[in-house]
Structure 1
Amino acid sequence: MTLKRNRLLAIVGATSVLALAACSSSTGNGGGEPADVPGVTDTTVTIGTHQPLTGPAAAGFASVSAAAKAYFDYINDNGGINGRTIEFVVKDDGYNPANTQTVVRDLVLQEDVFALIGGLGTPTHSSVLDFLNDNEVPDLFVASGSGMWDQPEKYPYTFGYNSDYVTESAILADYAQKEFPDAKYCLFGQDDDFGDDFEAGLTEILGEDGLAASERYSVANQDVVAQISAMKAAGCEVNFLASINAFTALGVGTAAKLGYFPQWMSSSSGGDYQTLAGFLGEAAPQLLEGFISTFYLSMASGDDEWITLFREVNEKYNGGVEFDGNQVYGMTMAYMFAEALAGAGENPTRESLVEAVQNGSVKGTGIVPLGFSESDHSGALGVQLSIVKDTVQAYFGTPYVYEDGSVVVYEGEQPAVTNKGIPGGK
Structure 2
Amino acid sequence: MVAVRYILAISLAIYGSSIALADSISREILIGQTLPYSGPLSGYGVIGQVHEAYFSKINAEGGINGRKIKLISLDDAYSPSKTVEQTRKLVEQSGVLLMFNSLGTATNSAVHRYLNARRIPQLFIISGATKWADPRNFPWTMSGMLAYETEAAIYAKHVLQHIPRARIAILSQNDDFGRDYVSGFKRALGNERAAMIVAEASYETSAPTISSQLATLKASGANVLLGATLGKFTSQMIRGVADISWKPDAFFVPAPASSISFLEPAGLENAIGLISSSNQKDTIDPQWSGDAGVIEFFSFMRKYLPGADLNNSNYSAAYTYAGLMVSVLRACGDDLSRENIMRQSLSLRDVSLPLLLPGITVSTAPDDYLPFQQSRLRRFSGKSWVGFGEIQDDR
Structure 1 residue runs of 4 or more that deviate by more than 6 Å after TM superposition: none
1:279-290 matches, cutoff 5 A: 279-280=265-266, 283-284=267-268, 286-290=269-273
Q: Give the equivalent residue in structure 2 for 1:244.
A: 230
Structure 2 residue matching 1:276: 3-state secondary structure: helix
Q: Give the equivalent residue in structure 2 for 1:374.
A: 366
Q: What is the distance in 2 between the residues matched to 1:102 and 1:49?
A: 12
Q: What is the distance in 1 between the residues matched to 2:23 and 2:188?
A: 45
Partner amino acid for 1:269?
P
Aligned residue pairs, count? 361
Contact 2:143–2:369 (8 Å) recurs in 1: yes
Q: What is the distance in 1 between the residues matched to 2:24 and 2:261?
A: 36
Q: Give the equivalent residue in structure 1 for 2:386.
A: 394
Structure 1 residue matching 2:393: 3-state secondary structure: strand
Task: Give the CA deviation at 1:47.
Answer: 0.2
- Deviation string for 1:286-338 (max 9, x for gaps)? 20111111111222223332222111111111133011310111111111111
Partner amino acid for 1:46?
L
User: So what's the TM-score if we normalise by structure 2?
Assistant: 0.87
- Deviation string for 1:27-66 (max 9, x for gaps)? xxxxxxxxxxx9983321110111011111112x111111
The counterpart of 2:29, out of the listed 34, 38, 45, is 45
Q: Give the equivalent residue in structure 2 for 1:271.
A: 258
Partner amino acid for 2:122?
D
Contact 1:371–1:377 (8 Å) recurs in 2: no
- Deviation string for 1:93-141 (max 9, x for gaps)? 1111111111111111111111101110111111110011011111100
> Structure 1: which 5+ runs fail to align?
1-37, 404-426
1:247-396 matches, cutoff 5 A: 247-262=233-248, 263-272=250-259, 274-280=260-266, 283-284=267-268, 286-301=269-284, 302-303=288-289, 304-323=291-310, 324-360=312-348, 363=351, 365=353, 366-367=356-357, 368-396=360-388
Q: What is the distance in 1 between the residues matched to 2:309 and 2:51?
A: 15
CA RMSD, Structure 1 to Structure 2 (Å): 1.8
Structure with the larger RCO, 1 or 2 (CA within 8 Å, 6+ apart) = 1
Q: Give the equivalent residue in structure 2 for 1:149.
A: 132
Contact 1:307–1:328 (8 Å) recurs in 2: no
1:400-419 matches, cutoff 5 A: 400-403=392-395
- Deviation string for 1:182-226 (max 9, x for gaps)? 121121111111111111111122234232122111111121012
> CA 1:125 to 1:233, structure 2 compared with 1: closer, same or farther past 3 Å?
same
Task: Give the CA deviation at 1:361.
Answer: 5.9
Partner amino acid for 1:333?
Y
Contact 1:45–1:84 (8 Å) recurs in 2: yes
Partner amino acid for 1:397?
G
Structure 1 residue matching 2:227: 3-state secondary structure: strand
The counterpart of 1:196, out of the listed 166, 171, 179, is 179
Q: What is the distance in 2 between the residues matched to 1:141 and 1:364?
A: 16
Q: What is the distance in 2 between the residues matched to 1:105 and 1:379?
A: 27
Which shifted more, 296-305 or 85-94? Answer: 296-305
Task: Give the CA deviation at 1:245.
Answer: 3.1
Q: Which has the higher helix share?
A: 2
Q: What is the distance in 1 between the residues matched to 2:363 and 2:137?
A: 17
Task: Give the CA deviation at 1:347.
Answer: 3.3
Contact 1:245–1:271 (8 Å) recurs in 2: no
Task: Give the CA deviation at 1:370.
Answer: 3.3
Q: What is the distance in 1 between the residues matched to 2:92 and 2:331?
A: 26
Q: What is the distance in 2 between the residues matched to 1:111 and 1:214?
A: 45
Q: What is the distance in 2 between the residues matched to 1:150 and 1:160?
A: 7
Structure 1 residue matching 2:389: 3-state secondary structure: coil
Q: What is the distance in 2 between the residues matched to 1:80 and 1:90?
A: 19
Contact 2:350–2:363 (8 Å) recurs in 1: no
